[in-house]
């Protein structure tokens, strides 16, 4: 059975994820060591200690994301986060930076290491280096691979793979994105903030809803259109005489319709994105995926009514399977 890995940005969301059926919950400390470094989110050391106690009491796992890239000369903050995660009893840490992986492998030999999607490891040779040199036990694959590519990759590597199955759809090569930092001055991969809310603004212009990021117009929506959150990679652009979405539409990734294909491809774990989401959203999405996975295990298929119900939870009630089935690949 595929493991269900779910997000929690607050203690309330953590409890919601566990109660809704998560096998594992991933969290971050309340600082820039994780890629969701937003005000009001994440965990203090005492909060995480309590959360891990709750999870372990119910035989669930906790993964700590320490997945940003340390600034030169200031690695101590990231090293302290690693030590704290181990001391608190985390079941794994999710890392991206190669120097931090080396430090963890040498200084924390008993700590289970997962490779973050921020490392953007997408082929067997790269993954093999992380496994052999730093004893990585699981790789979170970037959202650029088709299902057949994932199957071929799993046939060549001896390590667990985890894929994103629902939530925010990043179409870029994770860990290599500079679009958001170009207009906001804050790096998603260094400071942990992609399109921070403090830089987002909406305006009404000539009957249309205009979304802006850092003062730059990202999109314009007609009155009958669902307005997505303004990230540059999901904005509308004019190229030559044509205008439209060049990278990806502002919709949610939803792999619900292809769970069986992912399982057949050898995927070990499904990851839900959304540490910035509230507990109501976490409860609904986790519960829906729990039912889907259980039915898949019981009958070998995912019922269409459950898949349809999951689709209603997508951003703007619009979903995509993203690169998993992208025809132009």
Instruction: Spell out the domains of the chain, with CATH numbers in brackets.
Output: 3-169+251-325 (3.20.20.70), 179-245 (no CATH)
The strand order across the sheet containing 216-221 reads 200-205, 208-213, 216-221
Out of 14-23, 75-84, 196-205, which region has the weakest mean confidence (pLDDT)? 196-205
255: left (phi over 0), alpha (psi -120 to 50) or beta: alpha
Confidence of residue 328 (pLDDT cuts 50, 70, 90): very low
User: Residue 20: is its pLDDT beyond 60?
Assistant: yes
* Band of residue 317 on the pLDDT scale cut at 50, 70, 90: low
Q: Which one, of 45, 8, 43, lies nearest residue 24 by Cα?
A: 8
pLDDT higher than threshold 70 for residue 329: no
For position 315, what pLDDT does the model report?
65
Task: In whole angstroms, give the CA distance from residue 1 to residue 249.
Answer: 31
Q: How far apart are CA 128 and CA 143, in angstroms?
A: 19
Q: Determine the average pLDDT of the residues in 291-309.
A: 85
Report the chain's mean pLDDT, rounded to a whole number: 89
Looking at residue 313, the DSSP 8-state letter turns out to be T
pLDDT at residue 327 tops 60: no
pLDDT for res 29: 97
What span, in angstroms and rounded, lies between the C-alpha atoms of 142 and 122?
Answer: 7
* Between 326 and 262, the higher pLDDT residue: 262
pLDDT in the model for residue 140: 97
Q: For position 102, what pLDDT does the model report?
A: 98
- H or E segment at 65? strand 61-66
**Whether residue 225 has pLDDT greater than 50:** yes
291: left (phi over 0), alpha (psi -120 to 50) or beta: alpha
Rounded CA separation 138/131 (Å): 9
Closest CA to 171 of 120, 213, 135, 126: 120
Q: What angle do CA 201, 205, 207 make, to 5 degrees?
A: 125
pLDDT > 90? residue 169:
no
pTM of the model: 0.87
119 vs 234 pLDDT, higher one? 119
pLDDT at 27 over 70: yes
Strands 242-245 and 252-254: unpaired
324 Cβ partners below 8 Å, 6+ apart? 145, 146, 147, 150, 255, 258, 261, 262
Share of the chain above pLDDT 90, in %: 60
What is the rounded average pLDDT of the residues 210-229? 88
Q: Express each pLDDT in 57-110 by its tens digit.
A: 999 999 999 999 998 999 999 999 999 999 999 999 999 999 999 999 999 999
Q: Quick one: average pLDDT of 179-194?
A: 77
With CA atoms as reference, report the closest residue to 63 among 126, 5, 22.
Answer: 5
Q: Where are the alpha helices (DSSP H) in 89-170?
A: 98-107, 124-134, 147-154
pLDDT of residue 3: 98
């Amino acid at each position: 059975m595929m493991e269900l890995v779910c997000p929690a940005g607050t203690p309330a969301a953590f409890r919601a994820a566990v109660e809704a059926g998560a096998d594992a919950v991933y969290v971050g400390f309340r600082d820039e060591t994780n890629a969701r470094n937003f005000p009001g989110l994440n965990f203090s050391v005492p909060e995480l200690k309590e959360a891990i106690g709750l999870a372990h009491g119910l035989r669930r796992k906790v993964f700590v994301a320490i997945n940003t890239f340390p600034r030169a000369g200031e690695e101590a903050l990231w090293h302290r986060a690693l030590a704290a995660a181990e001391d608190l009893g985390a079941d794994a840490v999710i890392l991206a930076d190669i120097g931090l992986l080396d430090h963890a492998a040498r200084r924390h030999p008993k700590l289970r290491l997962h490779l973050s999607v921020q490392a953007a490891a997408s082929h067997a040779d790269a993954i093999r280096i992380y496994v052999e040199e730093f004893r990585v036990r699981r790789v979170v694959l970037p959202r650029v691979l088709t299902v057949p590519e994932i199957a071929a990759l799993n046939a060549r590597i001896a390590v667990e793979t985890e894929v994103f199955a629902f939530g925010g759809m990043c179409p870029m090569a994770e860990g290599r994105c500079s679009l958001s930092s170009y207009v906001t001055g804050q790096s998603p991969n260094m400071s942990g903030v992609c399109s921070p809310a403090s830089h987002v603004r909406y305006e009404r212009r000539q009957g249309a809803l205009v979304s802006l990021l850092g003062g730059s117009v990202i999109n314009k929506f007609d009155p009958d259109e669902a307005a997505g959150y303004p990230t540059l990679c999901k904005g509308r652009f004019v190229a030559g005489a044509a205008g439209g979405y060049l990278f990806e539409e502002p919709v949610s990734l939803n792999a619900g319709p292809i769970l069986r294909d992912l399982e057949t491809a050898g995927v070990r774990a499904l990851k839900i994105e959304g540490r910035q989401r509230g507990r109501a959203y976490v409860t609904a999405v986790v519960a829906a995926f729990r039912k889907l996975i259980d039915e898949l295990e019981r009958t070998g298929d995912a019922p269409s009514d459950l898949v349809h119900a999951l689709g209603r939870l997508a951003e703007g009630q619009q979903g995509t399977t993203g690169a998993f089935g992208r025809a132009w690949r």
